[in-house]
Structure 1
Amino acid sequence: MKSNLIVKVHYDEKRSRIVQCKCIEKTGDSNEQIISRDQIIEAIENQKVEYYTFHKGVRCAKVMVYKINNENYIKTMPNDKAEDNLGELPEYRLN
């Protein structure tokens, strides 16, 4: 299965959902790709791609999809909060 590393995130205005992420392929290709939150959820659910957080040169945690109140959220650790949470990844702004 293909693996991608999430290196940066962009949140919505409420900071409860990630809108999109900057990712690199685990194969060593350092070119960043912008991938939407919905694409990440679909790829994980369909077992097409595994995603991991990647911070300061270290692969940190596997990203999973958790359903809360019939909504999907991407997280590295399960909890009952209705928000995305990929840890301490750097954020970026849309231009």
Structure 2
Amino acid sequence: MSQTTITLAFEQWKAQQGATGEPVLLDEFVFANVPGLDPDQPVDRNETLPPAEQIVHRQAVSRKGVVNDNAVVHSVVLGADVGDFSFNWIGLINK
């Protein structure tokens, strides 16, 4: 089962950005292959980026937009020239 969550770290960062008037810019996707990741378990909101050795690819956001007052969408296109790797974890970060 595919799951999404907003981490506690993101909530804190977003609040700090709002307090200082700085924009919330999510501009990079991170793909990782995390051993033992169970897709049937809820995502831990305390989760952080996987260790560097589990990260298999990083790529800039290709497109983003607003769906409605409560939702946005970010996407990335991985071309045929992007390496051969497996992933089971995707994150969206401010690089």
What TM-score, normalized by structure 1, do the two folds share?
Answer: 0.30
Higher helix share: 2
Of structures 1 and 2, the one with the larger relative CO (CA 8 A, separation 6+) is 2
Instruction: Compare CA radii of gyration and give the structure with the larger one.
Output: 2
Higher strand share: 1
